[in-house]
């Protein structure tokens, strides 16, 4: 039986992992865990390719992956077999066959979400999910800073190119939401772009929180974006970051019959920064 290309959505709690990409022997990674589970479930070695390489401690709701294996049963049976062998912090959400699919090169946009918990006291139950900020944040400053980001430009002020030297990116969405949470506020930042620079989301959040604290003005931030020189700011902590979604041109795949028969349909597969 010939191997087939499978596309799947992967969710994980990045706590305790050294990131998505496979590391040196003995260092836990998401890629290594999934490849080991596939090998146990199918008896075949497969290389897992992801839409994005999240850092150590970063989470995902909608990481998109692909791998090739020979499988004669229903797609959901493969998902269940792999999930049964994955650690509790990692799970496939859906799976389907899609020949020719590449999770990174075929992606149209990536969506990241970052959560800040602003409260005088930390909330232990949130310690692996948020950046705790004890100082009050100026909501208007957060919104004003976020509004400066959308558009296509050189974003070298917010990150380095993972490959080559092209730092031009197109940001489609950049906005904050706020909700009450216990004794504090949960500030959730959502950013969507065609692609991201290395550490771009965490440096962006750091800059915006500096604005919310009154440590950075909108004029200085605007000037930094225009000069395209890397901002000398500490990165926001990794645990507040979630790869929320990766979007694809699904009409391309439906027109070629890439998902048919007994496969689960995924629409815009949730899974970039």
State the catalytic residues: 55
- Determine the Cα–Cα distance for residues 56 and 64; give it in Å rounded to an integer: 17
At 247, which helix (H) or strand (E)? strand 241-247
In sequence order, which residues have a C-beta less than 8 Å from that of residue 3 and are 6 or more positions away?
44, 68, 69, 70
Residues 54 and 63 sit within 8 Å (Cβ to Cβ): yes
Cα-flanking dihedrals φ and ψ of residue 240, to 5°?
A: -85, -5
In sequence order, which residues have a C-beta less than 8 Å from that of residue 174 and are 6 or more positions away?
146, 147, 149, 150, 189, 190, 191, 192, 204
At 255, which helix (H) or strand (E)? helix 250-255
In sequence order, which residues have a C-beta less than 8 Å from that of residue 157 and are 6 or more positions away?
224, 225, 227, 228, 229, 230, 231
């Amino acid at each position: 039986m010939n191997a087939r290309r499978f596309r799947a959505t992967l969710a994980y709690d990045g706590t305790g992992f050294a990131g998505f990409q496979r590391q040196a022997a003995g260092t836990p990674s998401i890629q290594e865990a999934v490849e080991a589970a596939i090998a146990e479930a199918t008896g075949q070695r497969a290389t897992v390719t992801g839409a994005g390489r999240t850092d150590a401690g970063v989470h995902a709701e909608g990481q998109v992956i692909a791998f090739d294996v020979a499988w004669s049963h229903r797609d959901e049976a493969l998902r269940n077999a792999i999930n049964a062998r994955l650690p509790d912090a990692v799970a496939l959400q859906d799976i389907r066959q899609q020949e020719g699919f590449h999770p990174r090169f075929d992606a149209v946009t990536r969506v990241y979400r970052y959560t800040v918990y602003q409260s005088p006291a930390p909330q232990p139950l949130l310690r692996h999910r948020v950046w705790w900020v004890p100082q009050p944040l100026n909501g208007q400053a957060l919104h004003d800073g976020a509004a400066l980001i959308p558009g296509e430009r050189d974003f070298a002020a917010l990150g380095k190119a993972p490959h080559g030297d092209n730092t031009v990116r197109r940001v489609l969405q950049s906005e904050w939401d706020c909700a009450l949470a216990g004794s504090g506020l949960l500030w959730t930042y959502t950013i969507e772009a065609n692609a991201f620079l290395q550490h771009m989301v965490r440096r962006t959040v750091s800059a915006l929180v500096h604005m919310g604290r009154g440590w950075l003005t909108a004029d200085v931030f605007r000037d930094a974006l225009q000069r395209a020189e890397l901002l000398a700011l500490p990165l926001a902590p990794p645990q507040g970051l979630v790869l929320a979604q990766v979007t694809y041109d699904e009409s391309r795949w439906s027109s070629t019959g890439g998902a048919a028969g007994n496969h689960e349909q995924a629409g815009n597969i949730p899974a970039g920064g």
